[in-house]
Amino acid sequence: MRTSRYLSWWPSTLTLAVVLYATLYPDPAGVDELPAIPHLDKLIHALMFGGLAGAWAFDYCRTRHLERPPRRVMLSAALVSAALGGLIELLQDAMGLGRGADMLDFAADSIGCVAAFFLAPPAIRAVLRPRQTN
């Protein structure tokens, strides 16, 4: 059934929804609510877009019963996530909601995607590896 195929990607869909809300809503967390840690927003960007790349690779493996993503799949997930980060920065500037494009945010998005390229495959393998019973 085709519907169940799309529903099986719910972790990626949920992650994408959170990323879109956090990046395109005018003030999702409230500036005053964030702790006064320098460059915390850059860390959040790296985690969001790296997490998105990892979620896509995880769902790909889960739906195809693979233990770990092939390198081409992980590379594609990282590149698409980074490109989405760039597009979102341009959208923030064009939407006129008080948020502008920030190249450092895009750099943080890309760094998160590079980190996911290396860190997601072993994490996915640890989660999806068949359990051996004694």
The end-to-end CA distance of the chain, in Å, is: 36
Within-domain flag for 55? yes
- The reply to whether 124 falls in a domain is yes
pTM over 0.85: yes
**Inside any domain, residue 82:** yes
pLDDT digits (tens, 9 = 90+) for 83-114: 999 999 999 989 887 778 899 999 999 999 99
Indicate whether 122 belongs to any domain.
Answer: yes
pLDDT of residue 73: 97
Is residue 121 in some structural domain?
yes
Q: Is residue 125, in this structure, part of any structural domain at all?
A: yes
CA 49/CA 55 separation, integer angstroms: 10
In a domain, 31, yes or no: no
Q: Are 108 and 43 in contact (CB under 8 A)?
A: yes
Is 11 within a domain?
no
Give the position of tokens 């190249």.
Answer: 103
Residues in the chain with pLDDT values less than 70 = 1-3, 29-35, 131-134
Task: Output the pLDDT for position 38.
Answer: 80
Q: Give how many domains the chain has, as a whole number.
A: 1
Residue 86 structural domain? 40-134
Half-sphere exposure of 109 (CA within 13 A, CB side): 22
Contact 108, 46 (CB under 8 A): yes
